[in-house]
Structure formats: structure tokens, C-alpha cells
Amino acid sequence: MRLEPVKLKKMVRGILATRPDEIGCDECFAQLDRFVEMQLAGKNAAEAMPLVHDHLERCHDCREEFEALLAALRALE
Ligand SMILES: [Zn+2]
């Protein structure tokens, strides 16, 4: 069976997201702009949204997305 990289990535993500108190990439992404806004407002986003913060620590893809969003919003200011 030949695995496409995208499918493989999803499988790996599925394996990594085993703890019930962890959120997945979809949920992280859905909350990411709020997280970034809090960060930019100087609030403790990690404390207010620990699950998003936790996911960003573990997930390279979402981390990149987060940093890109943060940089984009900072550039606007
Ligand atoms: Zn993710």
C-alpha cells in the first residue's frame, strides 16, 4: 500500500493526539486568531487558552501557522 504524504501526516497527527484533554489541529486553528489577538494585546494567552498553547508546543504545522499569523498582524500595527 502506498501512502501519500498528506495521509501519512494525518495518521501521525492522529497518533500524537491521544490525550483526551488535547485538541487537534482543526480546533487549534479555529482558536488561533483569538490566541494571537490576546498575545498581541499583551495578555497571557498561554494561561487563558492552555490547550491551544499546548498544541502549539507539540505541533510544528500549527506553530508555523501561529508564527506567520503573529508576524502578519504585527506588520499591520
Ligand atoms: Zn496542529
65 CA distance to ligand 1 middle (Å): 9
Distance of CA 42 from the midpoint of ligand 1 (Å): 23
User: At which residue does the C-alpha cell 495578555 appear?
Assistant: 43
pLDDT at 13: 67
Q: Which three cell numbers stand for residue 26?
A: 482543526
Task: Name the burial class of residue 35, with classes exposed (0-12), middle (13-18) and buried (19+) by CB atoms within 10 angstroms of its CB.
Answer: buried
pLDDT of residue 26: 95
pLDDT digits (tens, 9 = 90+) for 10-68: 766 666 655 667 899 999 999 999 999 999 999 999 999 999 999 999 999 999 999 99
CA of 55 to the centre of ligand 1 (A): 6
Q: Residue 5 has what pLDDT?
A: 76
Rounded Cα gap, residues 60 and 48, in angstroms? 21
